[in-house]
Chains A and B, each alone.
Chain A
Amino acid sequence: MTLTAERTRPPDARRRGRPTSGGRETLLLMLPALVPVLVFSVGPLLYGMYLAFTDARSGRNAETSFVGLANFGDLLTDGDFWASFRIGLIWAVSVTVLQFTASLGLALLLNENLRFRGFARVLALVPWAMPPVVIGLMWRLVYHPNAGILNSVLQDLGLLGHNVDWLNDFSLALPAVIVVGVWTGMPQTTVVLLAGLQGIPGELYEAGQMDGASAWRRFWNITLPQLRPVIVTITSLDFVWNINQFGLVYVLTQGGPGGQTRLPLLFAYEEAFRYGFFGYAATLGLAMVIVVLAVLGLYIGRQMREAS
């Protein structure tokens, strides 16, 4: 989409970058767009950052005072947070990697000249059309220990002797949730990769074929390098989306059993709205911003260095 457009037609994409003139008028024209951003995004963000340095708690008689870095100190020694952070990393990395692999396969398939290609492309988009809560409810039914389709199919196939309570088993819950995460995120990854694939000039493949390159070599030496910017972008975006995932897992397990699927944001949510420690929850939020920025900075920084 725009990602590929930028690569194939650089002059078009640059057209917007006009030299700035008449600063005041520009500002005036930008104002209608800026106000909502400032009021609804920047303001709350700054307020959230401020909260992170206070001991704000819920309650009508709660008094808030500035505590400096105390919350960050608590955070560093909070074993529960680190456990949840570890789960968050396992979740984000495995979902992103699996999502990417599966989507790449699907995109390559959909890029071929198959029969019913249009129909298959539409089908691949279906999970995208559903809100996370609906997806969560649907998969909860799939995983249901007694009435779920997964257990009955596996038992009919003779792969399973007894019903498994997927979402309440200490060791199965996280993998089960990861599968749902991969399923949910595949459409956007697939679509972006597919767009990238279609932007690769056919001549490259023809040339490769002339030189006797095998299908695998063509994939490795033409497709992957050509797709690289798209891959970097979508993977880093996926990682950010995944580590910030909330709704899906909240509906599926609420972080259970025993915290085995308690992603960092679920942890922060519980701190704020269940136990009422707003200040500490804001600190958790801020810590997540820092982590995400660090990951992105590494990724994008490397990308830019290579580009220049």
Chain B
Amino acid sequence: MRTRTALAVAAAAVVALTAGCASGGDTGGSGGTGGGTAAEPVSLKFLSLAWQKESIAANKEIVGEWNKANPNIKVEYVQGSWDNVNDQLVTSFEAGDPPDVIHDDSPALAGFASRGYLMDLTGKLPAELTSDIPKDAWDTVTFGDGKGGQGVYGVPFLRESQVIIANKKLLDAAKVRVPTPDAPWTWDEFADISKKLTKDGSYGVAWPLKSPVNRVLNLGLNFGGTFFQTDGTKSTVKVGPEEREVLQRIHDQLYKDKSADPSALGMGAADPLPGFYAGKYALLPAGVYLRQQVAEQAPDGFEWVTLPPLKGTSSNQGALSQTLSVSADSKHPDEAAKFIAYFLNSANQAKLAKGDWLLPTSVKAASDPSMTTKDNGWDVATASAQNLVVAPYLKVNGFDEWKSKVATPALQQYFANKTTLDQLATTLVDEGNKVLERYGK
């Protein structure tokens, strides 16, 4: 009747201890033979989380090219999955045997960086790469190191913005203004048009809000809603009038205007697609990557367009990046950095962005003709990158726990109309601050 947890923790700790000793010994060894590393072939493990078919192909292709050009630095492609990557990484970090190069996203990096698992990449990357990626993207990977300093703990390479995928025939039939990146819909206009598009049996819009937190927080910035305020190292939750705007507006569409389908609420991002193809909803707010599925699966003759992000007081959206990082325990950090620099050069970024249907951070890659073509809404998607700003919650220590324990259930209940906006705000703030308190210690 021992509990598994105590065991697992103890086991992990024991492994970590032994591994710690082992790697300690190794560092001494490689220091001694430091001169030999250039000649001796080294091998790196690269944990990739690519999951779309095209994207996996693009990843493997680039790794293959690298291995051909650099026989002395062999990169081994390891397939991971977004579903369990963080558990996997915590255990392998604690065990002292993490992959050398790690694909993850910026919210995860904050926690790992403050626990000292990742290597600070400042000064390790060539200027060619650092200057090709704009500063606001670098901001999404700059975190405290848990000891009072700051560092760059990853290279941001793919970003996602929220756009709206629309059924073109329904838009045309309702004779609504088609927005452009220069003149996007405002939220008010969006609400009116959704109402106009709602007819018996079909809804104007479907909000798939199975995982509501990131989406709501990213869109919250449309009205300047940051949801967190940071005082020094301590963060607290805030839900004021700015934060309430988007929450209230989505809720109104569901229950006041009745222009949003309530049965879409429990759906994941891609689940409403069959209904969307069938004309059940005219507008589908989605991440830019969802265009891939629409482009490939939509029935023949189905016409769709990508609409630019909505505008509140601004069109700003919180941005996350997918990132590549080097683990602090890596025995070949310089080689790992070199590999990252190659993997994310502008030509490769364009390939990766195309494979995942996301936006590259590289300025050069974004001007690639394949990124600005009108086909499949790439022009609108790429233009939306200019609205991306650093999501404030990225810098909040304990955000992950707040999200899964407090915010996800609270938001789900609010959107299911089981609680009021005031109750939601109280829960997010009171219970949220209790959670964050543990991390402020």
Contacts and interface: CB of A to CB of B under 8 A. Distances in A.
B94 interface: yes
Contacts of B263: 162
Given A44-B7, A60-B116, A285-B5, A274 B405 contact: no
Interface in B251-274: 263, 266, 271, 274
B2 A284 contact: no
- Which among A257, A269, A281, A285 has the greatest number of chain B C-beta atoms within 10 A? A285
Contacts of A257: 409, 412
A292 interface: yes
Given A58-B90, A59-B146, A275-B400, A281 B5 contact: yes
Interface in A62-95: 62, 79-80
Interface of A: 41, 43-45, 47-49, 51-52, 56-62, 79-80, 145-146, 162, 165, 168-170, 240, 244, 246, 257-259, 265, 268-270, 272-278, 281-282, 284-286, 288-289, 292-293, 296
A59 B9 contact: no
Interface stretch (B10-18, B99-107, B126-134, B170-178): B10-18
Interface string B83-119: 0001100110110000000000000000100111100
Nearest to B431: A79
A286 B2 CA distance: 8
A57 B59 CA distance: 34
B10 A289 contact: no
Contacts of B10: 43-45, 47-48, 51, 282
A282 B1 contact: no
B116 to A, nearest CB: 4
A59 B1 contact: no
A15 B295 CA distance: 75
Contact of B405 (A41, A259, A265, A293): A259
B3 interface: yes
A62 to B, nearest CB: 7
A45 B13 CA distance: 12
Given A47-B6, A61-B146, A258-B413, 7 more contacts: A52-B6, A56-B9, A244-B4, A274-B404, A275-B400, A282-B9, A285-B7
Contacts of A288: 3, 5
Interface of B: 1-14, 86-87, 90-91, 93-94, 111, 114-117, 146-147, 210, 263, 266, 271, 274, 328, 398, 400-401, 404-405, 408-409, 412-413, 416, 431, 438
Q: Tell me the dominant secondary structure on chain B's binding face.
A: helix
Nearest to B118: A60
Given A45-B2, A282-B6, A58 B94 contact: yes
In the A-B complex, the 6 residue pairs with the smallest Cβ-Cβ separation, listed nearest first, are A48-B6, A258-B409, A59-B115, A60-B116, A285-B3, A44-B10
A44 B12 CA distance: 10
A173 B90 CA distance: 28
Nearest to B411: A258
Given A59-B114, A274-B87, A274-B90, A282 B2 contact: no
Given A258-B409, A276-B111, A59 B5 contact: no
Nearest to A45: B2
A258 B405 CA distance: 7
Contacts of A277: 438
A44 B117 contact: no
A259 B409 contact: yes
Contacts of A274: 86-87, 90, 400-401, 404
